[in-house]
């Protein structure tokens, strides 16, 4: 099915099942511990051995010698695989890092060897017996030092730079100006489920049970790395315990498990140790962002510039932190740019809401600073500078945009009118109390997605697609879509996901998964509706599907009796046309936060958070709310605590576990309110939905940062906003008051 015209009325618009707050159908499996994750698939293949990866102990240099004699002689050891005996191992085009090191070492904890043994304990013990001699080389580990040598990156997607009008001239003449530099740190995904794979060969065919967000990408990349045809690869990922972008591409657990299984002659299971995940896999790269905004005294922006620097391994890509600035606010004179420094740190790549998440951490503080310079309310400033078409391409209207509705609704619900504009005016005992807000923005992405839908002689519907569920509720919204389209109860639908034998879906990532995958199911269901109608002798255009029946006029049949003993099935894909080029497509929101800061210690406590979002049709308000509160919690973490600390001497992240890489817990988020505006976007998909999972993160950290400033009068421009930075600011601004 080609989607190249705005959607008209269709069966989804009935909203009997879609749009309703159904419980997740995989919930009972998750809560009883019976959902089968990759490492736990003891049932799929017998005689599984255990692999433990040895990571590089240097960040840059060469392996000059490997001694595996003691390791191979250790109890229970079956095989030891290194670059010397692994055979030809290639590099996937879509992956920046090489997943097996040797002899060159590109980053710390890059996989150098894997030891296979009968038990995990034996493999782990023997891994310590592998002796590796390195020749270290100088490396580049500091973005600040690499900023001057950063270059304009090459990219096949959006151009890294943009310019409209005369920014320099307009900024120079602006009545009110803001010019500041902001930094965001490296961050680690820290998904609860580690990277894990079971690999088994049957002749020349390889089957992997792995934790992957994108099944078809995994097959593509493994084909390139291992040098085997794609049709000889079977990838299964039924349940995934979090990914946040880290599992978009295969990592060393999958590659090393495959190599180890081939060497051992039996299935091998591998899970990356938690310390290896931070340095062996991917992370969100740090950024340095310079923002300049000029406005008239009425608050209208006349000039806006956003420049961003980030780093990656050679051949990598930048963190596209300035992209949202091209679309979010008006201003006739505009400039954005991205520069990429070569660093010898582990691969920088997608982490939840790449680009917008760190970009809005900076932009929305800058907007707060502009509002203060103008003596203008921050909500009013954003409303004044709202646009309804692409500011860089004024003839390109937004498909649907209600940022103003989000801002006004959020301000009213949060009690924004009680905020004191002058900072450090509200105290609650020893606590300084403040409010902050920020806009939310995330581009709306779509991707071709296919499904097969079958109905059997009992009227049971089964959906097959290689879409994945990373905790987002894919099983549920796909079931809702099929139930709505075929007019059957939700309980009558079974959803089969995460298997490369199924039709290729969009996969989970980029906020495209829910909208695209359900649109693919929509397409398959439309084809199946047509087949059922014709078999019943009805005109498809007249057929109505409800209560497990197909009807037209006075004729009515149960679906079971129409499809018969053999059943019927149909397969189709949604193929998105150029509507995303014709219309600017994005999702919008507004974040509000109230914080209390201890005047003596600088400790920050978030008292309440609120978010209002406009993201097209919400397919399941319950699962969507869960996604948004998770994203808002992640934004709180980015604001106050998350930082992968680089040891610039040795080129590694030193806080590489959950003990030292701090993330928020339930006690850090006492109250969260989520509101979805009632809207549809007919230019996004036949579902009239958009993505929502990443929107809740974008801008959230800045709302917290702005609240900290409103509480204390201390403006922190370098994330995370830790208490040492607040205390220093309090001491600088009012040393006596800070401890009163």
CB within 8 Å of 152: residues ≥ 6 apart: 160, 161, 337, 338, 339, 340
CB 119 within 8 A of CB 50: yes
CB 604 within 8 A of CB 662: no
Strands 672-676 and 604-614: parallel
Burial class (CB in 10 A: 0-12, 13-18, 19+), 629: middle
CB 113 within 8 A of CB 134: no
The answer to whether the Cα torsion of 517, 522, 525, 527 is positive or negative is: negative
Instruction: Please choose, from the candidates 519, 462, 439, the residue with its C-alpha nearest in 3D space to the C-alpha of residue 691.
Output: 519
How far is 446 from 617, CA to CA, in rounded Å? 15
Alpha carbon 582 to its chain centroid, in Å, reads 25
DSSP string, 702-735: HHHHHHHHHHHS----BSS--HHHHHHHHHHH-T
CB 200 within 8 A of CB 206: yes
First to last CA, the chain: 68
What element of type H or E holds 461? strand 461-464
Reply yes or no: is the peptide bond before residue 103 cis, omega within 30 of 0. Answer: yes
Q: 90-127 in b/e burial notation, b at 16+ Cβ within 10 A?
A: eebeebbbbbbbbbebbbbbbbbbbbbbbebebbebbb
Instruction: Please choose, from the candidates 258, 152, 271, the residue with its C-alpha nearest in 3D space to the C-alpha of residue 208.
Output: 258
CB 122 within 8 A of CB 52: no
Alpha-helix runs per DSSP H in 451-498: 474-486
Instruction: Exactly one of 193, 642, 643, 694 is catalytic; name it.
Output: 694
Q: How many other CB atoms are there within 10 angstroms of residue 259's CB atom?
A: 29
DSSP 351: -
Strands 49-55 and 205-210: unpaired
How far is 26 from 250, CA to CA, in rounded Å? 25
CB 195 within 8 A of CB 315: no
- DSSP bridge pairs for 449: 574
| Separation in Å, CA 736 to CA 66, 543, 599 | 61, 77, 11
Reply yes or no: is the peptide bond before residue 720 cis, omega within 30 of 0. Answer: yes
694 is catalytic: yes
CB 512 within 8 A of CB 470: no
Question: Active-site residues: which are they?
Answer: 694
């Amino acid at each position: 099915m080609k989607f190249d015209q705005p959607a008209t009325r269709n069966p989804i618009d009935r909203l009997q099942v879609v749009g309703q707050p159904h419980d997740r159908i995989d919930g009972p499996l998750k809560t009883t511990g019976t959902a089968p994750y990759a490492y736990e698939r003891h049932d799929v293949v017998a005689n599984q051995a255990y692999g433990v990866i040895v990571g590089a102990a240097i960040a840059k240099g060469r392996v000059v010698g490997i001694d595996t004699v003691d390791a191979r002689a250790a109890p229970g050891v079956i095989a030891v695989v290194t670059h010397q005996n692994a055979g030809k191992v290639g590099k996937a085009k879509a992956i920046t890092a090489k997943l097996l090191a040797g002899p060159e070492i590109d980053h710390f904890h890059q996989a150098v060897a894997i030891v296979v043994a009968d038990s995990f304990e034996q493999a782990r013990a023997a891994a310590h017996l592998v002796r590796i001699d390195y020749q270290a080389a100088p490396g580049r580990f500091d973005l600040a030092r690499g900023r001057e040598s950063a270059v304009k990156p090459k990219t096949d997607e959006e151009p890294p730079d943009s310019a409209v009008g005369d920014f320099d001239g307009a900024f120079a003449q602006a009545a009110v100006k803001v010019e500041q530099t902001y930094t965001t740190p490296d961050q680690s995904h820290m998904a609860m489920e580690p990277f894990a794979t079971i690999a088994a060969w049957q002749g020349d065919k390889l089957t992997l049970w792995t934790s992957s967000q994108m099944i078809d990408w995994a097959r593509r990349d493994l084909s390139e790395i291992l040098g085997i045809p794609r049709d000889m690869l079977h990838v299964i990922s039924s349940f995934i315990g979090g990914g946040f972008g880290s599992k978009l591409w295969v990592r060393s657990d999958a590659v090393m498990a495959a190599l180890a299984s081939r060497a051992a002659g039996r299935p091998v299971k591998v899970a990356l140790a938690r310390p290896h995940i931070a340095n062996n896999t991917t992370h969100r790269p740090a950024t340095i962002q310079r923002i300049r905004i000029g406005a008239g005294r009425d608050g209208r922006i006349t000039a806006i510039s956003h420049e961003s620097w980030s780093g990656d391994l050679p051949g990598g890509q930048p963190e596209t932190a300035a992209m949202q600035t091209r679309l979010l606010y008006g201003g006739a004179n505009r400039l954005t740019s991205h520069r990429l420094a070569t660093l010898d740190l582990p691969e920088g790549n997608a982490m939840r809401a790449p680009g917008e998440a760190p970009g809005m951490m900076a932009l929305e503080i800058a907007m707060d600073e502009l509002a203060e310079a103008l003596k203008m309310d921050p909500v009013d400033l954003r409303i004044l500078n709202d646009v309804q078409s692409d500011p860089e391409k004024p003839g390109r209207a937004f498909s649907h945009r209600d940022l103003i509705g989000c801002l006004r609704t959020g301000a009213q619900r949060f009690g924004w009118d009680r905020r004191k504009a002058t900072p450090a005016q509200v105290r609650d005992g020893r606590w300084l109390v403040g409010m902050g807000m920020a806009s939310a923005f995330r581009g709306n992405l779509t991707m071709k997605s296919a499904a097969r839908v079958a109905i059997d002689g009992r009227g049971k519907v089964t959906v097959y697609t290689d879409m994945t569920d990373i905790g987002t509720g894919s099983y549920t919204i796909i079931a809702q879509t099929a139930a709505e389209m075929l007019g059957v109860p939700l309980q009558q639908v079974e959803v089969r996901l995460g298997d490369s034998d199924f039709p290729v879906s969009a996969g989970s990532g980029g906020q495209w998964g829910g909208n695209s995958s359900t649109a693919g199911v929509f397409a398959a269901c439309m084809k199946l509706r047509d087949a059922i109608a014709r078999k019943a002798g009805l005109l498809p255009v007249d057929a109505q599907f409800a209560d497990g029946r197909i009807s037209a006029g006075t004729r009515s049949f149960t679906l079971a009796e129409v499809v018969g003993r053999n059943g019927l099935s149909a397969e189709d894909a949604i193929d998105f046309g150029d509507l995303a080029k014709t219309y600017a497509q994005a999702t919008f929101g507004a974040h509000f936060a109230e914080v209390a800061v201890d005047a003596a210690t600088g400790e920050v406590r978030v008292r309440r958070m609120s978010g209002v979002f406009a993201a097209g049709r919400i397919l399941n308000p319950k699962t969507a709310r869960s996604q948004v509160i998770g994203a808002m919690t992640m934004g709180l973490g980015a604001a106050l605590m998350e930082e992968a600390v680089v040891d610039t001497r040795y080129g590694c992240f030193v806080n590489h576990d959950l003990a030292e890489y701090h993330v928020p817990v339930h006690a850090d988020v006492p109250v969260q309110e989520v509101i979805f505006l009632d809207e549809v976007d007919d230019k996004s998909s036949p579902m009239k939905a958009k993505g929502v999972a990443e929107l809740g993160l974008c801008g959230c950290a800045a709302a917290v940062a702005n609240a900290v400033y409103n509480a204390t009068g201390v403006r922190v421009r370098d994330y995370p906003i830790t208490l040492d930075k607040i205390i220093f600011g309090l001491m600088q601004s009012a040393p006596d008051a800070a401890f009163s």
